[in-house]
Amino acid sequence: MTVDVTVVVATRNRREQLLDVLARHPGPVVVVDNGSDDGTPEAVAAAHPEVRLVRLGANLGAGTARNVGVALARTPYVAFADDDSYWAPGALDRAAEILRAYPRTGLVTARVLVGPQARLDPICAEMAAAPLGAPADAPGPSVLGFLACAVVLRRAAFTDVGGFADRLGTYGEEALLAMDLAAAGWRLAYVPELVVHHLPSPSGRDPRARRRQEARNRVLTTALRRPVGVLGAVVAETWRDPERRAGLRDAARQLGWVLRRRRRLPAAVEADLAVLEGRAPARPPVTASAAAAGAGVD
C-alpha cells in the first residue's frame, strides 16, 4: 500500500473504463465525478466503498475536479490518473522516494505506455530528448509540460501556485500549471523509470469541440503569462486554422479575466520556453557526477 501518495481521478461518463482501472490504484484514492449521467458514481460507490467519492453534480472540467481532489488529500504527494489509466506497480512508491531525494522538484512526469500493446506515447520521446538538459538538482530531464494522467507532485507546491485554473476547464489546462510551478522555483522532471498505462477507448466525445477548447486554452495561457510578441504569433497561427478559429473567439470573450490575472513569467522560465519552441539552442546534458551531487549523493 502506498501511504505517501493520494491518487486523484477525474471522471465523467466512463463507468466501465473507470471500474476496470480503479482496483489497480494503490493507497488512498479520491474519485471526483464531473456530473456523470451513466451511473458512474453509483457504480464506484457500490464496487469500491474504500474510495473517497465526490459528486460535483455538473461538468466543471478536469482541472476543477483535480483541484477538489487535491484539497481532500492528506498525503504529501498527489498522483493524477484519468478514468482510463493506471500507475504501474511500485511506480508511486518510487515517485515518493524521488521527490523526497530531490527537494527542489515539485513534479515528476512518467513514461506513458498506450493500449494493450504498451506503445510509447510520442510525447515521452520528446521529453526524453531533454532540450533543457538535466539539472544536477533534478531527477531527470527538465520539462515545462506534462500529461495530467502521468504526474506525481508535491501537494504543497500545487496548492501554493493555486492548482489548475478553473476557467480553463478541460484540454490543455496543464500548460499554465507547469509554467506557474516553474515560475515559483520548482523543478519539473521527466523520469522514465516511472510508468503509467493508458488504455484509451472510443469516447463518443466531439473531436472538433476538443480542438476548439484546446485552441482557446492555448491562447488564454499565452495571454496570461507570455510576452505580447509570443501572443501575437499564437493568435495568428490559431486564426489561420479554420477548425481552431472558434477557439480564438472564445478566448477573446475572456479578455477581462485575462487582464485581471496577467502575470509575466520570470526571464529564466521564458528563456526555457524559447528553447522548447526552437527559438534558442538546447542545453548541454549534465554529467552523472554532477547529477549525483545535486541529489546529495557522495
pLDDT tens, 91-106?
999 999 999 999 999 9
pLDDT at 288 over 50: no
Q: How far is CA 250 from each of CA 61, 130, 244, 247, 261, rounded to the nearest angstrom?
A: 16, 34, 10, 5, 17
Provide the phi-psi class of 36: left if phi over 0, else alpha when psi is between -120 and 50, else beta.
beta
Would you state the pLDDT for residue 286? 52
The residues, ordered by sequence, that sit 6+ positions from 223 with a Cβ below 8 Å of its Cβ are 231, 251, 258, 262
State the Cα–Cα distance between residues 172 and 179, nearest whole angstrom.
Answer: 12
Give the confidence band of 162 by pLDDT, cuts at 50, 70, 90.
Answer: very high
Helix and strand numbers, DSSP H then E, in the chain: 13, 9
SS3 184: coil
Give the confidence band of 239 by pLDDT, cuts at 50, 70, 90.
Answer: very high
The torsion of the CA quartet 174, 136, 106, 100, rounded to 10 degrees, works out to: 140
State the Cα–Cα distance between residues 128 and 117, nearest whole angstrom.
Answer: 21
The residues, ordered by sequence, that sit 6+ positions from 278 with a Cβ below 8 Å of its Cβ are none
pLDDT at 209 over 80: yes
State the Cα–Cα distance between residues 164 and 254, nearest whole angstrom.
Answer: 17
Give the confidence band of 126 by pLDDT, cuts at 50, 70, 90.
Answer: very high
Would you state the pLDDT for residue 226? 98
Would you state the pLDDT for residue 204? 63
Annotate 206-218 with DSSP letters as a single string. Answer: -HHHHHHHHHHHH
Fold (CATH) for 5-198: Spore Coat Polysaccharide Biosynthesis Protein SpsA; Chain A (3.90.550)
Give the confidence band of 130 by pLDDT, cuts at 50, 70, 90.
Answer: confident
Which segments of the chain does DSSP mark as H helices, in order?
15-22, 40-47, 62-72, 91-101, 122-129, 155-160, 174-183, 207-225, 228-240, 242-252, 255-261, 267-276, 288-294
Q: What is the DSSP letter of 151?
A: E
Cα four-point dihedral sign 40, 45, 48, 54: positive
φ and ψ at 50, to 5 degrees?
Answer: -75, -15
pLDDT tens, 104-115?
999 999 999 999
State the Cα–Cα distance between residues 245 and 239, nearest whole angstrom.
Answer: 5
Average pLDDT over residues 266-290: 79
Average pLDDT over residues 51-69: 98
Other Cβ atoms within 10 Å of 159 Cβ, number: 14
Task: Give percent above pLDDT 90 in the chain.
Answer: 87
CB 3 within 8 A of CB 79: no
Q: Where are the domains positioned within the chain?
A: 5-198, 207-264
257 class by beta-carbon count within 10 Å (0-12 exposed, 13-18 middle, 19+ buried): middle
pLDDT at 290 over 70: no
pLDDT at 258 over 70: yes
pLDDT at 283 over 80: no
Q: How far is CA 13 from the centre of its chain?
A: 21
The residues, ordered by sequence, that sit 6+ positions from 4 with a Cβ below 8 Å of its Cβ are 27, 75, 76, 77, 93, 96
Other Cβ atoms within 10 Å of 195 Cβ, number: 19
